Structure 1
Amino acid sequence: MTVETTLSVNQDYVRSFSAEKGEPQWFTELRLNALQKAEDLPMPRPDKTRITNWNFTQFEQHALDSETYDSLDQLPEQVKLVIEAEETNKNLYIQHNQTPAFLSLSEELKAQGVIFTDIFTAVKDHAELVQKYFMTDAVKVDEHKLTALHAALVNGGTFLYIPKNVEVKEPIQTIYVQDHADAPLFNHVLVVADDNSAVTYVENYISVNSEAKGILNNITELVANDNAKISYGCVDHLAEGITTYVNRRGAAKRNASIEWALGMMNDGNTISDNTTYLFGDGSNANSKTVVVGRGKQTQNFTTNITHFGKNTEGFILKHGVMTEAASSIFNGIGKIEHGATKSNAEQESRVLMLSEKARGDANPMLLIDEDDVMAGHAASVGRVDPNQLYYLMSRGISRKDAERLVIHGFLAPVVNQLPIEAVKKQLTEVIERKVK
């Protein structure tokens, strides 16, 4: 079925898809209600980026030919490169296009009650948990047209639940492999860390076909309950023909912690919303983002940490490099609500442009509605210092290699601080491929 506008999305299609997946009635109703809301809701309006000509609502809605893998040896080479060492492979999920392709979870974690599965299995087998957290705390269905469309048309994703008092010491990894040319992916990731638990979750979006075209509408929700800690890392590296809306949100309860390590390496047009709500007293969030833009792509990255609880801390660090004719907007928002006394909001955004046609814009914003707080920001946008290039080239280094060294040096303060070693390694390799 061709979907041209939300008005032409057929309710029969949603019911048919939901029945095919064996979803419970509550989830089917959630889809249909979201579909109804999508008809009237406006598109999101990212600051300083016009997306009216970006295609998020015209696509072919159909099942894809996808593979499953009996062993990791069958994986494409690009996928093998991002998998952690063999001893940690027992906690791994791979999705090929819209289809669950590989799943492994250690017997130890199963015995501790950890749930790690695709989103459709979770909706059926763990309905009470999913219903409690799905688009309730971090992201709302009716925020705008793209969140409503997402809820109506979810066709992939992951559910991870860490029970109370369980600390997962090894990373849990998910890989989304895209190689199809014409069908959208509405991917939903839901990670819940219950009271006094801890987990490191790493995911990758990979295009194994550089000619792939399509739409990614991705929503990730992290819920860290009291005294829980979630370390989340990702490296997104999708093809130029894939237009991406990615909404990664976190909700931190009392004394909870959420750490984001985001490697945004897509080659296509991208809107990114990374927001953390510090609901509980003593909660904290730390968001680190690295971006490399190239070609003619346009990207908009908004990072928002909103403080509701007392004694909360939020730190934002973003470094981006724009090459060729790429352009990016970096919006950083530290918001302290009334009553969030003794809170601290800090941020730093820096953009480096490597050509006359490249464009970058860093916009730090502090929205403070409380007196007894701390807050600060720093931002810079500029071109490569010609003296740096001259110095390197005078030592016999070519201009291309000199620029490469400058890029790595500029991004290193962020890359080196990433708390997840697997993400740091993967990100370094992708940066090297993008700027070689």
Structure 2
Amino acid sequence: MTTQTILPVDAGRLSELSLRSGEPEWLKESRLKALELAAELELPKLEKTRIDRWNINQYGSYKESAAIAALNEAPSSIAALAGSSEEGSLIIQRNSGAVYARLAPELADQGVIFTDLQTAVKEHGELVRRYLHTAVKPEEHSVAALHAALWNGGVFLYIPKNVVVDTPVQAVFLTDDAEASFAPHVLIVADSNSSVTYVDNYVSGKSEAGLHNGAVEVFVGAGAKVRYATVHQFGADTTDVTYRRAIVENDGTVEWIVGEMNDGDTASDTKSVLKGNGASSDAKVIAVGSGSQKLNYTTQAQHFGKNTPSNMITRAVMRENATSIINGITKIEKGATRADGQQTEKVLMLSPKARGDANPILLIDEDDVTAGHAASVGQVNPEQIYYLMSRGISRSDAEKLVIYGFLAPVVSQIPLEGLRNQLKSLVERKLGQ
């Protein structure tokens, strides 16, 4: 069965919008080609998930928001996330475009580029063109093609060779207009022997159905290290579909820290391609589902280089009527000798009506490798609750302690204190504590 893709814009309108935005000719042609692909391709095929029943057509139209000159002008819904300092590096996108961008002067002096992607294609066109849509390819499926055609705002971060950025750079993405398209694209390029930590938050503040179709592309040069931390906390009215990809060269390292704290239907796919020898990947994902959410999380590591370790840990808590599909895929290609792929997926269900499914997959085409997986799905252990209650702890507090203990092995490994605290507070909110 083929599902018809409903295009939210025609080629003429898209071309007009690109020209009005002052985009280079190559980008306009890229958008138009992707739109053409979107009409031909099918929706992504997600394990045991009918994404065609989701709200995946509410793209809205391109609507800019007024720029802000200082952080105290930021919407209250994101003020706490943006922080109060005017000295750090920060980008804020509201609906279809960036409204605030700041790069710390000391980083600018070292050649670091940190701006919204729509500005970067004009000011750093050849650099952007070399990488854009080469990790998350438009031909993958209609959702990726529509993203390539309609992306807006976004982030471009470039770290030059041998530059080490000690302070995290940050972005906040807010959608609060149901009629505005919201499809930010994050593109990070870390040149050889560089290092950076990037943190972003995705937030919604509207009461009508909307869609986030997002993509992240990370390119890690030889000997470089990129730590990518992201928290999604959209409301129940927003459907979230996100594809993340990292391409890692010789001795490079990518670390993913993903907090899936949405209240609406969510599908995400986070993949590391270990292209070079000695490349490594570490992915930590925590998720909490509530209400009637439909969730599908996939974490992948694809090994091409020799001596390439990967580790993936996902822990999810499902309550009420929420359902989740947790996929872990380790693919070791022929020739990737001495690769080591490890993965763990665990789902804890707090309600008889909650559902969780953990699917570990190992695909190995090489003999001289190490690989392993662990997966479990279950409900809160009543003996643990009974033991805690016998010590004078209430049932609700006992359940909370068990849940925190379940998530702790992942949360405790997050090296950013601010992010750890944020995730703890979001877990409390989602669990109704």
8 Å contact kept, 1:261–1:423: no
Deviations 1:220-260 (A, max 9, x none): 00100111110000111001011111001100011100000
Question: Could you say which residue in structure 2 is the equivalent of 1:178?
Answer: 175
1:5 Cα deviation from its structure 2 partner: 4.5
| Distance (whole Å) between structure 2 residues aligned to residue 317 and residue 62 of structure 1 | 37
Quote the Cα distance in structure 1 between the aligned partners of 2:8 and 2:236.
Answer: 28
Partner of 1:99: 97
* Distance of 1:385 and 1:320 partners within structure 2: 16
Give the distance between the partners of 1:364 and 1:348, measured in 2 at CA. Answer: 8
Quote the residue 1:119 is aligned against. 117
**What is the aligned counterpart of 1:378 among 367, 374, 397?**
374
Once residues 360 and 5 of structure 1 are traced to their aligned partners in structure 2, the CA distance between those partners, rounded to angstroms, is: 29
Q: How far does the alpha carbon of each residue in 1:332-388 deviate from its partner, in whole angstroms, 9 at most, with x for none?
A: 011100000011000011000000110001111110000000001101100001122
Is contact 1:180–1:213 with CA below 8 Å preserved after alignment?
Answer: no
Give the Cα–Cα distance (whole angstroms) in 2 for the partners of residues 274 and 176 of structure 1: 19
In the alignment, is the contact (CA less than 8 A) between 2:291 and 2:319 conserved in 1? Answer: yes
Partner of 1:17: 17
Determine which of 82, 107, 112 is the counterpart of 1:109: 107
Q: Distance in 1 between matches of 2:419 and 2:188?
A: 18
Q: Which residue of 2 aligns with 1:348?
A: 344
Match of 2:164 in 1: 167
Q: Helix, strand or coil: the match of 1:216? A: strand
| Residues matched between the structures, number | 429
CA contact (8 A) 2:150 2:183 kept: yes
- Tell me what 1:261 maps to: 257
Q: Are the counterparts in 1 of residues 58 and 210 from structure 2 also a CA contact under 8 Å?
A: no
Separation in structure 1 between the aligned mates of residue 35 and residue 70 of structure 2, nearest angstrom: 38
**Which stretch shifts more, 66-75 or 222-231?**
66-75
Aligned counterpart, 1:420: 416
**Contact residue 204 and residue 238 of structure 2 kept, 8 A:** no
Displacement of 1:7 after TM fit?
5.1
Q: Identity, % of aligned pairs?
A: 49
The answer (yes or no) to whether the contact 1:351–1:381 under 8 Å persists in 2 is: yes
1:32 aligns with 2:32: yes
Match of 1:70 in 2: 69
Q: Return the alpha-carbon distance in structure 2 between the equivalents of residues 43 and 409 of structure 1.
A: 38
- 3-state DSSP class of the match of 1:86? coil
Once residues 292 and 105 of structure 1 are traced to their aligned partners in structure 2, the CA distance between those partners, rounded to angstroms, is 33
1:201 pairs with 2:198: yes
Q: Is 1:301–1:329's contact at 8 Å kept on the other side of the alignment?
A: yes
- In structure 2, relative to structure 1, the CA distance for the partners of 1:38 and 1:431 (3 Å cut) is same
Answering whether residue 329 of structure 2 is matched by residue 326 of structure 1, we say no
Aligned to 1:295: 291
Equivalent pair of 1:41/1:145 in contact (CA under 8 Å): yes
CA distance in 1, matches of 2:13, 2:200: 30
**How far apart, CA to CA, are the structure 2 residues paired with 1:336 and 1:81?**
42
Question: Does the residue aligned with 1:109 lie in a helix, a strand or coil?
Answer: helix
SS of the residue 2:51 aligns to? coil
SS of residue paired to 1:186 = coil
**2:184 match:** 187
- Is 1:403 aligned to 2:399, yes or no? yes
Is the CA contact 1:183–1:215 (under 8 Å) kept in the aligned structure 2? Answer: no
TM-score, reference length from structure 1: 0.95
CA deviation digits over 1:279-313, x for unaligned, max 9? 00000000000000000000000101000001101
| TM value normalised by structure 2 | 0.96
Which residue type is aligned with residue 177 of structure 1? Answer: L
Maintained 8 Å contact 2:34/2:148: yes
Q: What is the root-mean-square deviation of aligned Cα atoms in Å?
A: 1.6
- SS in structure 2 opposite 1:52? helix
Aligned-partner Cα distance in 1 for 2:346–2:103 = 39
Amino acid at match of 1:207: S
Could you say which residue in structure 2 is the equivalent of 1:49? 49
Read off the aligned partner of 1:124 and give its amino acid letter. Answer: K
Structure 1 residue 178 displacement after superposition: 1.7
| Partner Cα separation in structure 1 for residue 391 and residue 208 of structure 2 | 41
SS, match of residue 182 in structure 1 = coil
Q: Tell me how far apart the structure 2 counterparts of residues 313 and 84 of structure 1 sit (CA, whole Å).
A: 35
Consecutive unaligned residues in structure 2, runs of 5 or more = none
Q: Does 1:141 align with 2:135?
A: no
Unaligned runs of 5+ in 1: none
What's 1:82 paired with?
Answer: 81
Residue 408 of structure 1 aligns to a residue whose secondary structure is helix
- Give 3-state SS (helix, strand or coil) of 2:425's partner: helix
1:360 matched to 2:339? The reply is no
